[in-house]
Structure 1
């Protein structure tokens, strides 16, 4: 049994005992930079929905609003003292400055895709607020990012549990294409960053 499966198994009794409220609270507070296993509970909830113990629609309607609410809480904490919080947590001032500049430049993409990565999921809203990202832009990007995250994990795990053989065959067929696209995107991002290097240096001088 993998670490992921073991963790989900440990989280399942909590969901069976407390249901949607604990799921919503964990997902929301994780987005506000509080270290709770919201993502793992959501995965466990999707599997329970596949077994008929929870409603698939109920899981979706709990997780998406909770994720949006938690991220907005994290954003406003970031706007009202997030820099001090991040510095007190051990983040170096210079590294925080680079992180905030990076967020101002690529923040929308981080909000859309960052929720799929531990660490980024917990801190992106706090950093967005501390970087003074306009709230409207943050809110719209966060709506898209949380919807993508919730739908991918919940529907994906639900479908995998319902049709494991078919999903496994599909993954094997798509894997070369996904790897190729990921490499192309990574190469484009690296080229983009490197191509801006000299201009950045001249600006600093």
Structure 2
């Protein structure tokens, strides 16, 4: 996978960075994190310019997220439900709905970088649930700034060890996602327990 990504980035440069960042925010399964790592590495060797890589990835990610938000806003909850059934992602969508419902803009913020696989779904859900556009834009911009900066900088600083870095980041992302799910489940169980206690005390 890394060899293929390196070849594509070397041939198409900023175009590859921009297209991958945009499409990955719209549920297209592209390893954009690896693309940004590769682009950062090419910047370190002088083949690309690091600030251009960062800017293109950042703008493309914001454009993709806001496109997803608009699609969700136009399609509403029925669109989300249909996508969930067709893709088998109903559980993932449920977590995204909980994140937006409970945390609003913060749910958008963390989904862009801490639990990135959830991000594209949260964009759609935020639009469908009518999260205010300005709030979405502010929190999404903050989150994408972290996401893009982290991977581009990592590739730039450790370009000579890109295979090791990509594997480490992949393991780290999996660990973070697992921890996020575990925390979410714990919070859900705790909330249910509180409701049961309130109902018991009320009766």
- Residue 11 of structure 1 is aligned with which of 2, 5, 8? 5
**Which of 68, 75, 78 is the aligned partner of 2:72?**
78
Other-structure match for 1:132: 130
Residues 36 and 155, structure 2, Cα contact 8 Å, conserved in 1: no
Deviation at 1:118, TM superposition (A): 4.7
Alignment-derived partner of residue 149 in structure 2: 151
C-alpha distance in structure 2 between counterparts of 1:137 and 1:102, whole Å: 14
Unaligned runs of 5+ in 1: 1-6, 169-182
Q: Deviations over 1:156-176 (max 9, x none)?
A: 3312348x8xxx9xxxxxxxx
Q: CA RMSD in A?
A: 3.2
- Are 1:28 and 1:38, in contact at CA under 8 Å, matched by a contact in 2? no
- Counting only pairs closer than 5 Å after superposition, residues 162-177 of structure 1 correspond to structure 2 as none
Q: TM-score with structure 2 length normalisation?
A: 0.72
**Quick one: distance in 1 between partners of 2:185 and 2:72?**
29
Mapping of residues 15-94 of structure 1, within 5 Å = 15-81=9-75, 82-83=79-80, 84-92=82-90
How far apart, CA to CA, are the structure 2 residues paired with 1:16 and 1:188?
Answer: 40
What's the CA shift for 1:50? 1.1
User: Using a 3 Å threshold, how does the CA distance of structure 1 residues 200 and 87 change in structure 2: closer, same or farther?
Assistant: farther
Gaps (5+ residues) in structure 2?
166-178
Deviation at 1:192? Answer: 6.3
Q: What is the SS of the residue equivalent to 2:30?
A: coil
Question: What is the aligned partner in structure 2 of residue 179 from structure 1?
Answer: none
**Contact 1:33–1:126 (Cα < 8 Å) also in 2:** no
> What TM-score comes out, normalization by structure 1 length?
0.71
Count residues in correspondence: 178
SS of 1:35's equivalent in the other structure is coil
CA positional deviation for 1:21: 1.4
Query: For the structure 1 residues 147 and 95, does the alpha-carbon distance in structure 2 shift closer, same or farther, using more than 3 Å as the test?
Result: closer
